Amino acid sequence: TEHTYRPALKTFLESFGGRIVATNEPKHVKCGAPDFIVTVKDISQGYVEAKDIGVALDNEEKSEQLQRYRASLRNLVLTNYLEFR
């Protein structure tokens, strides 16, 4: 399932810098609950929504969930662990 790969995704996201923290399943925000929030020094830098490996991101981009996230979140990454958008 998509949760299986989250520890590896957290490690990957945090590998970009010593002060980056990727929090898995952060508290809900107004538009929903993205899978990760990425912060630097406790300041939000963006969000990550992870789908299961191999899920077609073209379809996911059109979902109600992603439309809601894109309208509300200033920096959002969508991934299926193999592709990042």
pLDDT value at position 37?
96
Which ranges of the chain have pLDDT less than 50? none
pLDDT value at position 45?
95
In terms of Cβ atoms closer than 10 Å to its own Cβ (0-12, 13-18, 19+), residue 2 is middle
pLDDT value at position 27?
86
Q: Write down how long the chain is.
A: 85
Cβ–Cβ under 8 Å, residues 78 and 51: yes
